[in-house]
Amino acid sequence: MTLALILVGGGPARAAGVTLTVSLSPASIAADGASQSTATVSVLPPLRAQPLALYAPFDSHISVGPVHDNGDGTYTATLTSSRSAEVTRIFATDALGTDQVFPATLTQVGASVTSVVAVTNRPASPSNPPVTNEGVVLLATVTSLADNLAAPTGTISFNNRGSPIAGCQALPTSAQGIGSVNVTCVTSFAATPSPAELTAVFTPAAGSLLSGSESPADDFPVASDLTSTSVTSTSTPVIGAPETYVATVTPGHAGAVAPTGFVRFFDHGATIASCRQQPLDGSSTATCTVTYPAPGTHAIRASYSGDANFQSSDSIVLRDSAQILGTIDASMQWRFRYTSRDTRVLELILSRAPVGSRVSITCSGGGCQVKRSTVVVRAPWQCGPAGSSSCASGRTVNLTPQISQPRLRAHTRLTVAITKPGWTGKAYVFAVRASLPPTVQIGCIAPGSNRIAASC
């Protein structure tokens, strides 16, 4: 199709072997009906005042301006784009209909526009926005502005405040889209910082006839999520033994963001002094370890402080009872050799010592070579999985080697204490006398205590 842009002029008759070569600068312009390219026709051999025309046979909406003779065998004209995204060819012709014509290729790149919205699976409103970790569907729409509705082929990337959203980068557009395509991605956000500032960026594929585009930012408010807190104990509390309580904070929506902050533990409504600010770990748990000195009931509650992304919450009360596991009923046999000058231990044997108990021997006064020694009562090898049930009842421990060498002076005190966590212990106190056998006092030791008492 000739675009009525013929340069009129007289001239000599055409010679054989003339060629027309078309070139464009630039060879690619926007398909917006306004962008321009300069077409140059080179005539070989150069002939002056040659009637000439330029035309685009495949797009009648490309406008061609007047053709100018540059006087050197070249001719120029200005092309104005149409609104079709396409690759088309620009031809030249003359009055003699020269066959040797080399056309140029013009690429017209259409504009695109991208938009983005975020939606949830439930009705949301400014007064009831999505919360931390709640699933959100991002929807980007890319629309071709070209008249011929060129397909937006390429990728979409979603960003929040200019930073890439993980898992939502370089998502391909549908190859079946005509003029407009949608791309979705499921993600979630934290309440801080809020609102999320969402954008979608369209990047055209290589060879695409559409330009890239970025959506305006869409503000998307996110609120803090509810939490629930629970508290458990790791074992049955035993007097004198450490007891650990574990608080677990569970968000309403699990996801990439985890609760942070602190948990405070209470017993019967009063803050446990050593557990007033226990930090949450990576598993959203906090611990509190206490040791109860006496039997009794306890009402344990855990309170989560909350943070910028999650709301505070309190656990229900866990009722616990600290107990004494039993009373050590070990017995001792002893023999002493005593004179007016000193006393020696000939035999000191402990019977029915519970496995796992600790026997402490303390010597205070004249003649003590060792002030304190300790023996841990361990199970013999026969007390393995195939051992007798009587193994649990206790063992006989010969303490004589621990104390046989010293020559104890009068008024020296020799104390043997048998203790075990959670148990009421037992103690033997020997008071050395000159020329007389030592006196013996038998007492008890309350769980968790070191004090010997007449009764527990």
Mind listing the domains of the chain with CATH numbers? 19-109 (2.60.40.10), 112-220 (2.60.40), 227-322 (2.60.40.10), 327-379+391-453 (2.60.40)
| Count of helices and strands (H, E) across the chain | 1, 38
What tokens were used for 386?
A: 């195939």
Q: What is the pTM of this model?
A: 0.69
The predicted-structure confidence for 176-193, as pLDDT tens digits, reads as follows 667 899 999 999 999 998
- 373 beta partners: 361
Taking the C-alpha atoms of residue 447 and residue 308, their distance in angstroms, rounded to an integer, is 44
Going residue by residue through the chain, which has 456 residues, state the pLDDT in tens, using 9 for 90 and above. 333 333 333 334 444 578 899 999 999 999 999 999 999 999 988 765 567 889 999 999 999 999 999 988 899 999 999 999 999 999 998 877 776 899 999 999 999 999 999 988 877 777 789 999 999 999 999 999 998 888 899 999 999 999 999 999 999 997 666 789 999 999 999 999 889 999 999 999 998 999 999 999 999 999 999 999 999 998 888 888 899 999 999 999 999 999 999 999 999 999 999 999 999 999 999 999 999 988 899 999 999 999 999 999 999 999 999 988 899 999 999 999 999 999 999 999 999 999 999 999 999 999 998 899 999 998 875 555 444 444 545 689 999 988 877 799 999 999 999 999 889 999 999 999 999 999 999 999 988 888 999 887
* Spatial separation of the C-alpha atoms in residues 91 and 106, rounded to whole Å: 11
Residue (of 378, 369, 357) closest to 445 by Cα position: 357
Cβ atoms of residues 326 and 352 within 8 Å: no
pLDDT tens for each residue of 131-174: 999 999 999 999 999 988 888 999 999 999 999 999 999 999 97
Amino acid identity, position 62: I
Q: DSSP code of 396?
A: E
Residue 17: C-alpha distances to residues 20, 43, 55, 247, 265 (Å): 10, 10, 22, 94, 100
Give the amino acid at 18.
V
